[in-house]
Amino acid sequence: MDSRLRQALARAEDVARELSEPATAADPAKLKLLGREHARLVPVVRAVESLSRLETEIEGAQEMSTSADADMAAMARDEVERLAGEIAELRLEVQELLVPPDPHDDRDVIIEIRAGTGGDEAGLFAGELLRMYTRFAERRGLRVEPIEVQRGTMGGVREAVVAIRGAGAYGLLRRESGVHRVQRVPATETQGRIHTSAATVAALPEAEEIDVRIDPNDLKIDVFRSSGPGGQSVNTTDSAVRITHLPSGIVVQQQDQKSQLQNKLKAMEVLRARLLDRVISEQESARAAERRGMVGTGDRSAKIRTYNFPQSRITDHRINLSLHNLDDVMDGKLDDLVNALRLAARQEDTNG
């Protein structure tokens, strides 16, 4: 047995034992970390159990393939061939599961979507991206928690910040960061001309206080009255919060929650995520400078994807992949894109 596999199985036993200890239940931070590791190791354990079962079955089929009964022997040989194929696929799956994961992949993710160039059409597209990621999360059994959504005109979205929570959420969506471009005939276009507009997406790993330590003296906190579209007041108290992190210049504003305290807590959550994302982006950009690829880097200004509605085509420019199922993608069926990007990133890490 491969030494990495032995280590993974041994670690799975250790994690399961630690999770059952009373001391762990009394330590929320440790419980969360062990829970993430457990979720990552469980598929390895299950795959090994399945592999052991199939290897037992193929041994029995191989014995039967030498039977004096010609029909029985032929059936057994067919079974051996089928099982051999399943075993080969499962061994490959185990190898992929043993690839050292990025330490941040198991985290929740904060998705920020902002309308870019294109006026009302950009806002409509930003709203569709928000729905796309929401539908994708629901299909994967992840939980979507809105943090702040600023509505624009015509039902569009100027800016949206949502947390997507669940095992591996950041690992699934971390490569969505960048400029998303849409080509189509807007509803307001009377001449039938195709317009191009854009929205930006940032996928940030949820950060905990132990990941990013923020000195309160580095924060400038302003409170003000919440307002709705067009400046319409939606709150008669100063419950909205704006936090400026002075060393980095990052500004976070939150007004969707009911109280000033809730808005401050949400704003701090986003601030920590942005600060951790900055560290990760710098690390990945340094790595990218040593190789030609762009997959998985922290470049937020790069045009990563084009959504061409007239041709029902979606193209990811980083890996030169075009799919012709745009309606399905916009309905949250992102699996082909996500899997292709993860595979490309893994190959880059192997070759780089």
- The secondary structure of 56-119, three-state, reads HHHHHHHHHCCCCCHHHHHHHHHHHHHHHHHHHHHHHHHHHHCCCCCCCCCCCEEEEEEECCCC
CA dist., res. 340 & res. 352, Å (int): 18
CA dist., res. 307 & res. 314, Å (int): 5
Say yes or no: domain 3-97 is CATH 1.10.1740: no
Task: Indicate the angle between helix axes 70-97 and 28-64, nearest 10 degrees.
Answer: 160
Task: Give the per-residue pLDDT at 289.
Answer: 54
Tokens matching residue 111: 């998705």
Angle at 211 between CA 208 and CA 216, to 5 degrees: 80
CA dist., res. 106 & res. 60, Å (int): 40
Tokens matching residue 47: 């795959």
Task: Give the per-residue pLDDT at 69.
Answer: 86
Q: Where in the chain is the domain with CATH 3.30.70.1660?
A: 109-351
Task: Give the per-residue pLDDT at 233.
Answer: 44
Residue type, 93: E
Q: Where in the chain is the domain with CATH 1.20.58?
A: 3-97
Residue 155 has φ and ψ, to the nearest 5°, of 85, 10
The upper half-sphere exposure of residue 8, i.e. CA atoms within 13 Å in the direction of its Cβ, equals 23
Tokens matching residue 21: 């200890």
Q: Helix or strand or coil: residue 199?
A: strand
Element at 221 (helix H, strand E): strand 219-224
State pTM to two decimals.
0.68
Total residue length of the chain? 352
Non-local (6+) Cβ contacts of 44 within 8 A are 5, 8, 9, 12, 94, 97, 98
Tell whether the torsion through CA atoms of 215, 220, 224 and 229 is positive or negative: negative
Task: Give the per-residue pLDDT at 294.
Answer: 52
CA dist., res. 343 & res. 329, Å (int): 19
CA dist., res. 71 & res. 327, Å (int): 50
CATH class, domain 109-351, is: alpha beta
Q: Helix or strand or coil: residue 136?
A: helix
Cβ–Cβ < 8 Å for 218, 245: yes
> How far, CA to CA in Å, does 184 sit from each of 118, 155, 189, 259, 302?
12, 18, 10, 41, 21
Cβ–Cβ < 8 Å for 240, 168: no
- Could you tell me which residues are beta bridge partners of residue 313? 308
Instruction: pLDDT tens for the chain, 352 residues: list them.
Output: 577 788 888 999 999 999 999 998 898 888 888 888 888 889 889 999 999 999 999 999 999 988 888 889 899 899 999 999 999 888 878 877 776 667 778 889 999 999 998 888 999 999 999 999 999 999 999 999 999 898 888 888 999 999 999 988 998 999 999 999 999 998 767 677 888 999 999 999 888 766 788 899 999 999 988 765 444 445 556 788 999 999 999 999 988 888 888 999 999 999 999 998 888 887 777 655 544 455 555 555 679 999 999 999 999 999 999 999 999 999 999 999 998 898 888 776 655 5
Cβ–Cβ < 8 Å for 166, 241: no
Cβ–Cβ < 8 Å for 213, 139: no
